[in-house]
Structure 1
């Protein structure tokens, strides 16, 4: 059995190397404007390849309107949902827990005061709620962007499941994970720094099971991790690609992560099932569109790869 498992593991390694070689996934290419829908479907969506698209939303008023002064005037003191953590890591492994942020309802003007460093309460603050928070919490801003990306909607034959608004401090970090969405990530101001792994790197990216928990902030500003005692454990990636512990996760050295920076006015196409880790400049403003992936043969191939990885004891 051990010999068979080794043979399967060698085949998995060869498969990953071959896909990387044939698909050319050693860098993230740039496109000068979005291609026609059919061309985008053929050359990027179907091959599941990321790209950065310039001049894709130059017509959006948000690009020149969304200063902090404008956001204060148009969103004002309404209450919005803000993620608060002690260290900038929301939805991430902390010690032996998968810890989610405190979701704090606060006045938007108070949040901007924090980002502009006019006040400094304990913690790291980030507007990152992903349940289409742009349409749900910031409808005042929808006239400055599009409700969907027309050429992407045409390529997929559907509109996005969610349109999300992102704004926060530079200490806010998104831990390595994947999503079941075709993601168009549009940076309005500042920049986002991505570390990307193709789905075929899954055998070399560790998952472990963690008790879910949430940060709670006390009146004195200290943070406490509170378990969700009745919740089942959840799988998450413990590895930090900024400082991977190769003594614990030696297989990770087989990966060749892609590093890219998405600047103001640029759009990243992040294909479904790609692993990504995200940092940002301070006060970066972004909008992203989540289109549900097609659960076609690509999804089943990924599930097969994951099953084989688990079967040979590589998680």
Structure 2
């Protein structure tokens, strides 16, 4: 039995290395583009090969890029309640020992959330707007005039509009746990920066799957889409 497991392990390791060689760039860096790809180029060069890429300056013409500042948020909807995740260490929806630890969710005015971000040492915990299920359209429609309704070249390539559009805001202590999404993602950074760690597809079998998180998110998202569909049918 031991010999069989050794052979199987060696074969999986070889598979991992082969697929990594195909997926990962030779220099270990994610490709950077100076302009957005055409729908055809996106499908041919990136989507079909399951490769990530970065487009520098892709959103520089968005109103949000010029307009979204703490001052603008305070003046435009400082009193609006927003849902904020609060954790002791910045890890929300994360495994803690044998348990899946979900964040505390608090509703507070946007101005109060900005106060916390500007002086984090005066508050216990890490505060992060991270609600999913299309919170931008559902909870923060005031921001929709600053962003397009979709990413046109990707919608054309995939022949569909986005299932969800989310707005996330926090400081450098907020961490997203390692996970696998079931959707194609575009992450647009309007202010600050986001560090992202990517693993090639072959690594999926080597990563502990957070079934609790996946199932809960899928149930919530499917329920959300069901209600959305029913409202449209009426």
Which has the larger share of strand?
1
Work out which of the residue numbers 148, 161, 175 in structure 2 matches 1:159: 161
Task: State whether residues 85 and 130 of structure 2, in contact with CA within 8 Å, keep that contact through their aligned partners in structure 1.
Answer: yes
Task: State whether residues 90 and 125 of structure 2, in contact with CA within 8 Å, keep that contact through their aligned partners in structure 1.
Answer: yes
Partner of 1:54: 56
**RMSD (Å), alpha carbons:** 1.9
Deviations 1:148-181 (A, max 9, x none): 1000000100010111111112211111111111
Residue 206 of structure 1 deviates from its aligned partner by: 3.3
Partner of 2:133: 131
TM-score, scaled relative to structure 1: 0.64
Work out which of the residue numbers 103, 108, 117 in structure 2 matches 1:115: 117
Task: State whether residues 91 and 98 of structure 1, in contact with CA within 8 Å, keep that contact through their aligned partners in structure 2.
Answer: yes
**Which ranges in structure 1 are unaligned for 5 or more consecutive residues?**
210-233, 237-315
Aligned partner of residue 181 in structure 1, secondary structure: coil
Distance 2:207 2:23 in 1: 20
Matched, 1:18 2:18: yes
Which has the larger share of helix?
2
Distance 1:120 1:157 in 2: 48
Aligned partner of residue 8 in structure 2, secondary structure: helix
Partner of 1:182: 184
Task: State whether residues 84 and 108 of structure 2, in contact with CA within 8 Å, keep that contact through their aligned partners in structure 1.
Answer: yes
**Which ranges in structure 2 are unaligned for 5 or more consecutive residues?**
215-234
Cα 1:24/1:176, change in 2 over 3 Å:
closer
Aligned partner of residue 15 in structure 1, secondary structure: helix
Task: State whether residues 93 and 213 of structure 2, in contact with CA within 8 Å, keep that contact through their aligned partners in structure 1.
Answer: no
Q: Which has the higher contact order (CA 8 A, sep 6+)?
A: 1
TM-score, scaled relative to structure 2: 0.84
Cα 1:35/1:119, change in 2 over 3 Å:
same
Partner of 2:39: 37
Mapping for residues 85-100 of structure 1, pairs under 5 Å: 85-100=87-102
Residue 208 of structure 1 deviates from its aligned partner by: 7.3
Residue 201 of structure 1 deviates from its aligned partner by: 1.1
